[in-house]
Amino acid sequence: MNLADKKRLLREMLFARRFEERCYEAYVERKIGGFLHLYSGEEACAHGVLEASKKGHDYVITSYRDHVHAIKCGADPKKVMAELYAKETGSSKGRGGSMHIFDVEHRFMGGYALVGGPFPLAAGMAKAIKMKGGDEIVICFLGDAANNQGTFHESLNMAKLWDLPVLYVCENNLYGIGTRIDRSTAVIDQYKRVSGYNIPSAQEDGQDIEKVFKAAKKAINHVRSGKGPYFLELMTYRYRGHSMSDSNAYRSKSEERMWSNRDPIIMLRDRLIEAGELTGEDYKAMDTEVLDEIEDEVIAFAESSPEPRVDELEKYTLAENDPWVYGGGR
């Protein structure tokens, strides 16, 4: 990772942070409905791992905290925001919402609301890749609490049994909604849980993007070389509650302070300043530019976009004009 990369990543992570904070405001203004799960604090996980992957080549899937992963994969932030605004121009045409961002063109295969839902879907995509003989891999980002669903065990077993090219990234933010990990999970270190399936794994600091990148490179090389699945646990923290309806009263101020002192964006910024590659002024200018872009382009696009048409309510339920529904038209 060279200096230019680090500067770009700093801007990307800052953009992600500001994007999520702007979502918060729009939610309070009731421009965004439903559930909204924000990624602030965890930026180095998605950015570090996906920086180590082949963009537009590898497939990515995650759960409902999905805006930032989609954008890092190449989804247009304007379309992501328009989706949150429930507009026809949204990435899922306003039918999905915050938890269901999709951008198949950029191989972002979706956000899913059942926490363990993507485990087997990721293994299945990996099965398809293996059948077709490509060198793509599947990267599946899920939270620590998802590991208590049956799909975790069922999927890891099959992924190893058939040596499928899938990297499972566990973003361990220590809470399943409002329940702290030691109150829900018998084994705290998630990377240890996969040894029962003979899958290699590692645990890394999820706040330091350089460490994440390095650990992800190793993991991705393993998976791409045909050796089967890998499990990477990243220790991280979400600044907001689980969703906007979460009062976030279950965490102590001292714990929150401890994590905000290890903010992934500030850590990278300070490192660049220390190296003489960036000044505080540069950073401020970058921030202003990001804020302007979000306001002038992203929000403006979402605001001005049309709503879906009610006469298209049933569109996308089933395939349209599929000849095989009618016996192949023979």
Partner 1 sequence: MAELMYWEAIRRAHDEEMTNDPLVICMGEDIGVAGGTYKATNGLYDKYGPERVIDTPISENGYTGLGIGASFLGVRPIIEIMSVNFAWLAMDQLFNSAAKVRYMSGGQLTAPVVVRSAGGTAHQLGAQHSARMEKVFMSIAGLRVVTPSNPRQAYGLLKSAVRCNDPVYINEHELMYNMKGEVPDEEYFHPLVGSEVAREGRDVTLFGYNISVHWCLQAAETLSKQYGIEAEVIDLFALAPLDRAGIVASVRKTHRAVIAEEAEPAVGVGAEVMAIINEECFFELDAAPVRVSAVNVPIPYNHTLEKAAIPNAGDVVAAVRKMLGK
The 3-state DSSP class for residue 317 equals: coil
Q: How many residues form the binding site for partner 1 (CB under 8 A)? A: 53
Written as one string, the DSSP assignment of 160-185 is HHTT--EEEEEEE-SEETTEEHHHH-
Rank residues 255 and 312 by Cβ distance to partner 1 and give the closer one: 312
CA quadruple 158, 161, 164, 167: dihedral, nearest 10: 70
Spatial contact of 58 and 138, defined as CB atoms under 8 Å apart: yes
Spatial contact of 163 and 228, defined as CB atoms under 8 Å apart: yes
Q: How far is the CB of 252 from partner 1 (least distance, A)?
A: 35
If binding is defined by CB under 8 A, does position 231 make contact with partner 1? no
Rank residues 68 and 138 by Cβ distance to partner 1 and give the closer one: 138
Q: How far is the CB of 190 from partner 1 (least distance, A)?
A: 19
- Give φ, ψ of 260 to 5 degrees: -70, -20
Rg, Å, the chain Cα set: 20
Q: Segment near partner 1 (CB under 8 A), from 44-52, 122-130, 189-197, 260-268?
A: 122-130
Spatial contact of 49 and 69, defined as CB atoms under 8 Å apart: no
Q: Binding string, 63-92, against partner 1, x = CB under 8 A?
A: ---------------------------xxx
Residue type, position 146, single letter: A
If binding is defined by CB under 8 A, does position 125 make contact with partner 1? yes
Q: How far is the CB of 98 from partner 1 (least distance, A)?
A: 11
The terminus-to-terminus CA distance of the chain in angstroms comes to 57
Residue type, position 236, single letter: T
Q: How far is the CB of 317 from partner 1 (least distance, A)?
A: 5
- Site residues for partner 1, 268-327, by CB under 8 A, read 315-319, 322, 324-327
Rank residues 105 and 255 by Cβ distance to partner 1 and give the closer one: 105
Q: Segment near partner 1 (CB under 8 A), from 34-42, 69-77, 95-103, 233-241?
A: 95-103
Rounded-to-integer distance, Cα 239 and Cα 61, Å: 22
Q: Segment near partner 1 (CB under 8 A), from 48-56, 102-110, 194-202, 209-217?
A: 102-110
- Among 48, 77, 117, 143, which residue sits at the site for partner 1 (rule: CB under 8 A)? 117
Rounded-to-integer distance, Cα 142 and Cα 115, Å: 7
Rounded-to-integer distance, Cα 166 and Cα 141, Å: 11
If binding is defined by CB under 8 A, does position 226 make contact with partner 1? no
Rounded-to-integer distance, Cα 194 and Cα 201, Å: 7
If binding is defined by CB under 8 A, does position 33 make contact with partner 1? no
Rank residues 41 and 96 by Cβ distance to partner 1 and give the closer one: 96
If binding is defined by CB under 8 A, does position 3 make contact with partner 1? no
Q: How far is the CB of 155 from partner 1 (least distance, A)?
A: 5
Pick from 82, 76, 114, 115: which is nearest to 98 by CA?
82
- Contacts of range 121-126, beta carbons closer than 8 Å, 24 or more positions apart: 121/61, 122/59, 122/61, 122/155, 122/166, 122/168, 123/155, 123/158, 123/159, 123/164, 123/166, 123/229, 125/59, 125/61, 125/166, 126/159, 126/164, 126/165, 126/166, 126/229
Q: Segment near partner 1 (CB under 8 A), from 110-118, 213-221, 276-284, 289-297?
A: 110-118
Q: Binding string, 135-174, against partner 1, x = CB under 8 A?
A: ---------------xx--xx-xx--x-------------
If binding is defined by CB under 8 A, does position 127 make contact with partner 1? yes
Residues of this chain that bind partner 1 (CB under 8 A): 59, 90-97, 100, 102-105, 109-110, 112-114, 117, 119-132, 150-151, 154-155, 157-158, 161, 315-319, 322, 324-328, 330
